[in-house]
A and B are shown apart, each in its own frame.
Chain A
Amino acid sequence: MNKKQQKALIRIILAAVLLVALHFVNVEGWIRFALYMIPYLIVGYDILRKAVKGIINGEVFDENFLMAVATVGAIALALISKSGDYTEAVAVMLFYQIGELFQSYAIGRSRRNISDLMDIRPDYANLEQDGEVSQVDPDDVEIGSIIVVSPGEKVPIDGVVIEGTSFLNTSALTGESVPRSVTVGDEIISGCINNSGLLKIRTTREFGESTVSKILDLVENASSRKSRSENFITKFAKYYTPAVCCSALALAVIPPLVSGLALGTGFTWGTWVYRALTFLVISCPCALVISIPLSFFAGLGGASHEGVLIKGSNFLESLSKVRTVAFDKTGTMTKGVFSVSGVHHSSYPDEELLRLASMAEIYSSHPISKSLREAYDSLSGGAPVDRDSVTDVEEIRGKGVLATVEGRRVACGNAQLMTMVGAVPVDCHQVGTLVHVAIDGEYAGHILISDQVKPNAAEAIKALKERGVTRTVMLTGDSAKAGEHVASQLGIDEVRCQLLPENKVEAVEQLLADEQEKNGGKAKVAFVGDGINDAPVLSRADIGIAMGALGSDAAIEAADVVLMDDDPMKISKAIGIARKCMRIVYENIGFAIGVKLICLILGAVGIANMWLAIFADVGVMVIAVLNAIRALFVKNV
């Protein structure tokens, strides 16, 4: 609790104690009035002052005004009717203040919770100058400076490691708990926490341009893009309060006049004025006004903790309505790196063929050679390779490599190379690049190298369908064979192949039009890409989702939702988070408006008194705020 809240708490306790004590004091008339005014003013002086100020500044119809009119009215009624029942007015003010205190405390707490989640802002950088290290403001570090990051510290600025090796904890950025290893020459992004070794980094950006600044900027500005629900509430509150005030006035004046003049049953002013005042107390729109933005804020905060950055409440709202998802292939559904996916028609054991091929290619720098070596390394567990047993290496441009490995003449390359050495290559029915291998002039099989589907991509598509996504479409620039292969492997409904970037935009426009026709624009179309070459598509879709965005500025700029790592499961997770948040928002809108309406009716017919009214007001607000905070917990969505 801060000072203000403590002060409010003391005032509430003091007034409550006085009110209870006064209950046992038996005095009448003006002394009684004066005594009851003490707790009333203690607890409500600021409300009265604000109400008066509001009227002077032309800001009528705010909640201070409502509470002031209701309580002053109740006191006046008690004076006029000489009932001496001031307790009600004081209690109403008291409970109102309790509600305000709770609200301010709850918001403070969730604010802190969320900022803890996003606690990636570095406070300082250790700048190395002339062999000496000094702590400076990250803003003052120039590009190309050397900074030192000790274990346990945050990396303050993007850069390249020039000394040391370590493991980085990226969980604050990506939600991924497995540490990432870095060594000399690796690029390093700010916001990670250095887990183990001392690192020296040469900065490549200014602090303001670094990843951490961009992410914080994005998160902090997210809640200023208002969703339709929030705009609805703002508008609702604008009309609601004056409307209730007018009905209260009507309630106070019309029924007594009707009963007095037309029915001749006497003017029952007291009853109806009391009911009108009850009306005013119920009418406070606080529960709505505070809980809706709070739900969005908590939802955005919870999402960013899971590595899903959503650029605004409006996008959160659209994301919850996604029914069609279009994907890019390379880098989104596939790893975007080429690796060995199979060994076929081999007359040797698969591992042996791979070993011979990788040794023959040992001196080659071609990406395919690299993937062969990586595949063998992972099979053998990184066993040392005897380079000396590879001799007479002959690289034939555009065809492949010939080399003598352990006394055998190995040819690795395309079909042309096979024909050249007198072997008969066998073609493959699968998609990818083929490396044929011949040993001593005999065809020994081929190794298929292809871009691999991400291990959990199929699961991710399934998860999307379980979330109610009815149409999944893959857009790719790749050949029909490759595209259809991946789509069927993953269970994607449709595939559009050989698309140039501008064709992808057209394809997404087609999907938008289809959706418009089918659901009248209620359901949304999302496009998921890796941010490379597809910025126009990202911005054309209702929701552009960029994945694997860590360190890619273009994607962060163009997309509406940024997935910090490249795990496709996060797509359905993001939709799940959005749904949960929107469900909470609707619950709060329905609950708050519903309870208020019921209480207003009960108040109008005289069933609800002012006590019930204040409980309806404060109680609804407390429940709505607690419900809103639920949006923060999205780990298992």
Chain B
Amino acid sequence: MKKTYKIDVDCANCALKMEEATKSTEGVKDAVVNFMTLKMKVEFEDEADPDEVMQEVLKNCKKVEDDCEIYL
């Protein structure tokens, strides 16, 4: 399943870090962060619950760039 989320982040490099952090979160199959449109596309593993996974994603993103936000 794929879902798109709005995000807020300050710099292109930080967006890249968020992408890496999201990809390495469990339950995430693939993720693309688009800095220019401030959107994040997340593809989930089949058995994963998006809401739970996204909580983890947010936590991981905050770790690499604490100035970021994902609007769940």
Contacts and interface: CB of A to CB of B under 8 A. Distances in A.
A391 to B, nearest CB: 66
Nearest to B4: A220
A220 B35 contact: no
A502 to B, nearest CB: 35
Contact of B66 (A53, A220, A286, A294): A53
* Chain A facing B: main interface SS: helix
Contact of A220 (B10, B34, B67): B34
B36 A223 contact: yes
Nearest to A219: B37
Contacts of B38: 111
A224 B15 CA distance: 12
Contacts of B10: 4, 100, 104
Given A220-B34, A220-B37, A297-B36, A290 B12 contact: yes
B11 interface: yes
Contacts of B32: 224
Interface string B50-71: 0000000000000110110000
Nearest to A46: B67
A360 B13 CA distance: 72
Contact of B34 (A50, A115, A224): A224
B36 A57 contact: no
A4 B69 CA distance: 12
Report, as a range, how many residues of chain B touch the other chain.
10 to 19
Contacts of B29: none
Interface string A207-238: 00000000000001101100000000000010
B66 A223 contact: no
B11 to A, nearest CB: 7
A115 B39 CA distance: 13
Contacts of B36: 111, 114, 223, 293-294, 297
A237 B16 CA distance: 13
Contacts of B66: 50, 53
A59 interface: yes
A223 B17 CA distance: 17
A87 B47 CA distance: 58
Nearest to A233: B12
Q: Which of B13, B36, B37, B39 has most A Cβ within 10 Å?
A: B36
Nearest to A293: B12
A100 B38 CA distance: 18
A494 interface: no
Contacts of B35: 293
Contact of A290 (B11, B37, B64, B67): B11
A289 interface: yes
A289 B35 CA distance: 12
Contacts, number: 40
Residue among B35, B38, B39, B67 with most chain A CB within 10 A: B35
B5 to A, nearest CB: 13
The size class of the interface chain A forms with chain B is 20 to 34
A62 B64 CA distance: 12
Nearest to A49: B66
B13 A62 contact: yes
Contacts of A286: 11
B63 A57 contact: yes
A63 B12 CA distance: 12
Interface string A132-165: 0000000000000000000000000000000000
A111 B10 CA distance: 13
A12 to B, nearest CB: 15
Contacts of B17: 59
Interface in A275-302: 286, 289-290, 293-294, 297
Interface in B10-54: 10-13, 17, 32, 34-39
A629 to B, nearest CB: 13
B17 to A, nearest CB: 7
B64 A289 contact: no
A277 to B, nearest CB: 22
A118 B64 CA distance: 32
A111 B39 CA distance: 12
A223 B36 CA distance: 8
A290 B10 CA distance: 11
Contacts of A62: 13
Contacts of A220: 34, 37, 39
B22 to A, nearest CB: 14
Interface of A: 4, 46, 50, 53, 57, 59, 62-63, 100, 103-104, 111, 114-115, 220-221, 223-224, 237, 286, 289-290, 293-294, 297
Given A46-B67, A103-B11, 12 more contacts: A53-B66, A59-B17, A59-B64, A111-B37, A115-B37, A223-B34, A224-B34, A286-B11, A289-B12, A289-B13, A293-B36, A297-B36
Instruction: Please provide the 10 A-B residue pairs with the shortest distance between their CB atoms, ordered closest to farther.
Output: A297-B36, A223-B36, A220-B37, A224-B32, A224-B34, A290-B12, A289-B12, A293-B12, A104-B10, A289-B13
27 contacts: A4-B10, A46-B67, A50-B66, A53-B66, A57-B63, A57-B64, A62-B13, A100-B10, A104-B10, A111-B36, A111-B38, A114-B36, A220-B34, A220-B37, A220-B39, A221-B34, A223-B36, A223-B37, A224-B32, A237-B13, A286-B11, A289-B12, A289-B13, A290-B12, A293-B36, A294-B36, A297-B36
